[in-house]
Structure 1
Amino acid sequence: MEKTFIKTGIFGGTFNPVHIGHLALANYLCEYEDLDEVWFLVTPQNPFKKDVRLLDDRIRLEMVEAATRGYPRFRASDFEFGLPRPSYTVDTLRKLSETYPEREFTLIIGADNWAKFDEWRSPEEILRKYQIMVYPRSGYDLHIPDTVQGHVKAVQTPLLEISSTFIRRAITEGKDICYFVHPEVYRIIREKKLYISE
Structure 2
Amino acid sequence: MPNMDKNIGLYFGSFNPVHVGHLALANFIVENTSLDEIWFIVSPQNPYKNATELCNASHRVNMLRLSISQYTKFKVCDIELKLATPSYTYATMRELRKTHPEHRFTIIIGSDNLPHLRRWKNAEEIITHHSFIVYPRPLHPINPQDLSDQIQVFKAPVFDIDSTSIRKGIRNGKDYRFLVPQEVFQYITDNHLFL
Q: Same fold (TM over 0.5)?
A: yes
1:24 aligns to what?
24
Deviation at 1:144, TM superposition (A): 3.6
2:111 aligns to what?
111
1:151 aligns to what?
150
2:6 aligns to what?
6
Structure 1 unpaired stretches of 5+: none
Q: What secondary structure is seen at the aligned counterpart in 1 of 2:7?
A: strand
2:181 aligns to what?
182
- Is the contact between residue 144 and residue 153 of structure 1 (CA under 8 Å) also seen in structure 2? no
1:138 aligns to what?
138
1:44-193 counterparts in 2 under 5 A? 44-49=44-49, 51=51, 53-145=53-145, 148-193=147-192
Deviation at 1:143, TM superposition (A): 2.3
Matching of residue 35 in structure 1 with residue 35 in structure 2: yes
Partner AA of 1:98 in structure 2: K
Distance 1:88 1:61, change over 3 A: same
Aligned-residue identity in percent: 39
Q: Give distance in 2, aligned partners of 1:51 and 1:65.
A: 22
What TM-score do you get using the length of structure 2 for normalisation? 0.94
Deviations 1:124-171 (A, max 9, x none): 11111100111100010112427x521001111000100000110110
Distance 1:52 1:10, change over 3 A: farther
Q: Give distance in 2, aligned partners of 1:50 and 1:125.
A: 29
Deviation at 1:50, TM superposition (A): 5.9
What TM-score do you get using the length of structure 1 for normalisation? 0.93
Distance 1:50 1:187, change over 3 A: closer
Deviations 1:86-110 (A, max 9, x none): 1111110111011000100000011
Q: Give distance in 1, aligned partners of 2:22 and 2:115.
A: 20
Distance 1:14 1:73, change over 3 A: same
- Is the contact between residue 144 and residue 154 of structure 1 (CA under 8 Å) also seen in structure 2? no
Report how many residues are paired: 192
